[in-house]
Amino acid sequence: MTLAPFGTRLRHAMDTRGQLCVGIDPHASLLTAWGLGDDLAGLETFSRTVVEALADRVAVLKPQAAFFERFGSRGVAVLERCTAEARAAGALVVMDAKRGDIGSTMAAYAEAFLAEGSPLFSDALTVSPYLGFGSLQPAVDLARANGCGLFALALTSNPEGHEVQRATGADGQSVAQGVLRRLAAENAGAEPLGSFGAVVGATLTEAGADLAINGPLLAPGVGAQGATAADLPRVFGDSVRNVLPSVSRDVLKHGPSVAALREAAQRFVEDVSTVTKL
Ligand SMILES: O=c1ccn([C@@H]2O[C@H](COP(=O)(O)O)[C@@H](O)[C@H]2O)c(=O)[nH]1
């Protein structure tokens, strides 16, 4: 099946369901808080419950691959089911695996997540451009061919990211600005929204970079890391309509009640809507 471009599908999802991505991060502490074991059965119940609660109503679900991989191949099998079920229920899935490598290895990573028929096929993948933006070309090509998207790490939500991302490159611009410029080039002419997004933390004091990339801006850091919806206009300025705020723990802590998970997500959707519609 040929998918419409990811940017088009994401714009529609954000306009109809609201600008929110909920992360599926099965921390050991959350499994325990939900009364589950920190084991494979707990992982399966946790991820199934989140998908049941939210996949038919939030725009995007973002499984954090690391929390599944810690259980080895059987954890990855849970991730496969979770991804397929979330997509079947209507959510877009952004796989948070932060892949980045060179040449044929990058191509293999891209095939793992962005080739139709792959067990982990996702609507978009987070990628690291810090082996050089050009090293992501196999993923850019496959994403474009298959109606998928990428989110490249530009200005991450953690303070440690600054030493690399704010460093000045040979062209006198910050390294992050260079990543944003390359994303803008990939999105040139795309309507209503390009498919090649940036990760820009909602925790930043200010962006300090031009975020007008004609693509989505995935904004982790809302909730447990301290940012709120009220911070979004300050960080994202005129690009706030293209922001996809991402919350994991601050929604997930309301489980295992399906109703409570839904209420928590809905509160974030409404908070975000208040600031993006100004
Ligand atoms: O800059 C980044 C990039 C990715 N993340 C990921 O998002 C979630 C955040 O979880 P919370 O519980 O809402 O803090 C997690 O999977 C991170 O790996 C990020 O936080 N910052």
Split at pLDDT 50, 70, 90, the class of 278 is low
CA of 24 from ligand 1 middle (Å) equals 10
Query: Is 276 contained in some domain?
Result: no
Report the nearest atom of ligand 1 relative to the CA of 27.
12
- Give residue-wise pLDDT tens across range 201-234: 999 999 999 999 999 999 999 999 999 999 999 9
According to the 3-state scheme, what is the secondary structure of 172-234? CCEHHHHHHHHHHHHCCCCCCCCCEEEEECCCCCCCCCCCCCCCCEEEECECCCCECHHHHHH
Query: Is 278 contained in some domain?
Result: no
Query: Is 221 contained in some domain?
Result: yes
Give me the chain's average pLDDT, please.
97
With a threshold of 0.90, tell me whether the complex ipTM lies above it.
yes
Query: Is 1 contained in some domain?
Result: no
Residue whose CA lies nearest to ligand 1 atom number 19: 220
- Ligand 1 test: best mutation among 225, 243, 244, 250, most atoms within 8 Å of CB? 225
Split at pLDDT 50, 70, 90, the class of 277 is confident
- Give residue-wise pLDDT tens across range 48-71: 999 999 999 999 999 999 999 999
Tell me the angle at which helices 40-54 and 258-276 cross, rounded to the nearest 10 degrees. 50
Judge contact between 52 and 3, C-beta under 8 A.
no
- Give residue-wise pLDDT tens across range 147-182: 999 999 999 999 999 999 999 988 899 999 999 999
- Whether residue 277 lies in the annotated active site: no
Question: How high is the pLDDT of residue 170?
Answer: 86
- Give residue-wise pLDDT tens across range 229-260: 999 999 999 999 999 999 999 999 999 999 99
Report the nearest atom of ligand 1 relative to the CA of 252.
12
Cα–Cα distance list, 25 to 68, 133, 181 (Å): 9, 27, 30
Residue with tokens 């260079």: 178
Question: How high is the pLDDT of residue 49?
Answer: 98
Strand 196-200 to 149-155 pairing: parallel
Query: Is 106 contained in some domain?
Result: yes
Judge contact between 2 and 147, C-beta under 8 A.
yes
Residue whose CA lies nearest to ligand 1 atom number 4: 220
Query: Is 190 contained in some domain?
Result: yes
User: In this structure, is the dihedral angle defined by the CA atoms of residues 61, 90, 83 and 32, taken in order, positive or negative?
Assistant: positive
Structural domain count of the chain: 1
The full length of the chain comes to 278
Give residues with Cβ within 8 angstroms of 50, minimum separation 6. 22, 24, 61, 82, 252, 255, 261
Q: What would the two tokens of residue 12 be?
A: 């529609």
Report the nearest atom of ligand 1 relative to the CA of 224.
14
Give residues with Cβ within 8 angstroms of 53, minimum separation 6. 255, 258, 261, 262, 265
Cα gap 257→270, rounded to integer Å = 20
Stretch 112-135: mean pLDDT: 98
- Give residue-wise pLDDT tens across range 11-60: 999 999 999 999 999 999 999 999 999 999 999 999 999 999 999 999 99
For 101: left if phi > 0, alpha if psi spans -120 to 50, otherwise beta; the answer is beta
Query: Is 195 contained in some domain?
Result: yes
Query: Is 88 contained in some domain?
Result: yes
CATH number at residue 63: 3.20.20.70
Residue whose CA lies nearest to ligand 1 atom number 1: 156
Question: How high is the pLDDT of residue 15?
Answer: 97
Stretch 66-93: mean pLDDT: 98
- Ligand 1 test: best mutation among 29, 222, 235, 248, most atoms within 8 Å of CB? 248
Q: Which domain holds residue 18?
A: 6-269
- Ligand 1 test: best mutation among 68, 157, 244, most atoms within 8 Å of CB? 157
- The secondary structure of 42-65 as a DSSP string is HHHHHHHHHHHHHTTTSSEEEEBH
Give residues with Cβ within 8 angstroms of 18, minimum separation 6. 58, 59, 269, 270, 272, 273
